[in-house]
């Protein structure tokens, strides 16, 4: 289906900054969090709005580890797609970029928040 995903050029720097600020793991962990963060929103993204692919490249294995079917399943469920749909990598890329932008904005607005506190607050708000 796909071998790798690239963020936008603008998000290449954001993922590095967020990785350092949040201290939750490596850049691929932050990209996973960004994907989940974006998918948790009530809005659906349009493929027309896909950003450039000049940023950080993640291989499928590095980005998702052994859980790629779960991440793909979340996209399929949100957009009502079959798991072999050729547009899934584009949706994944869009949601990673969207999530990185959203996380960056939240942490820029509140520089005192700690990564684990942020995650716990999002989990508490969800339930």
How would you write the pLDDT of the chain (127 residues) with one tens digit per residue? 789 999 999 999 999 999 988 888 899 999 999 999 999 998 999 999 888 999 999 999 999 999 999 999 999 999 999 999 999 999 999 999 999 999 998 888 877 777 777 777 767 665 5
Q: How many domains is the chain partitioned into structurally?
A: 1
Name the residue range of residue 56's domain: 4-126
In this structure, are residues 5 and 92 in contact, taking their beta carbons and an 8 Å threshold?
yes
pTM attached to this predicted model: 0.90
Angle at 79 between CA 90 and CA 29, to 5 degrees: 55
Cα 118 from Cα 44, distance rounded (Å): 23
CATH number (domain holding residue 78): 1.10.1220.160
pLDDT, tens only, 78-115:
999 999 999 999 999 999 999 999 999 888 887 777 77
Cα 83 from Cα 77, distance rounded (Å): 9
Q: What is the mean pLDDT of the chain?
A: 89
* Cβ neighbours, 10 Å, residue 95: 24
Angle at 19 between CA 59 and CA 62, to 5 degrees: 15
At residue 43, the 3 state secondary structure works out as coil
């Amino acid at each position: 289906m796909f071998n790798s995903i690239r963020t936008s050029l603008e998000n290449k720097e954001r993922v590095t900054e967020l990785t350092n600020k949040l201290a939750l793991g490596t850049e691929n962990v932050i990209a996973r969090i960004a994907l989940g963060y974006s998918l948790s929103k009530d809005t659906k993204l349009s493929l027309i709005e896909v950003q450039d692919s000049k940023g950080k490249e993640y291989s499928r294995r590095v980005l998702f580890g052994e859980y790629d079917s779960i991440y793909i399943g979340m996209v399929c469920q949100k957009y009502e797609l079959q798991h072999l749909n050729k547009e899934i990598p584009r949706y994944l890329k869009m949601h990673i970029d969207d999530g990185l932008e959203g996380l960056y904005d939240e942490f820029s607005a509140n520089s005192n928040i700690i990564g684990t506190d942020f995650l716990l607050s999002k989990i508490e708000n969800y339930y």
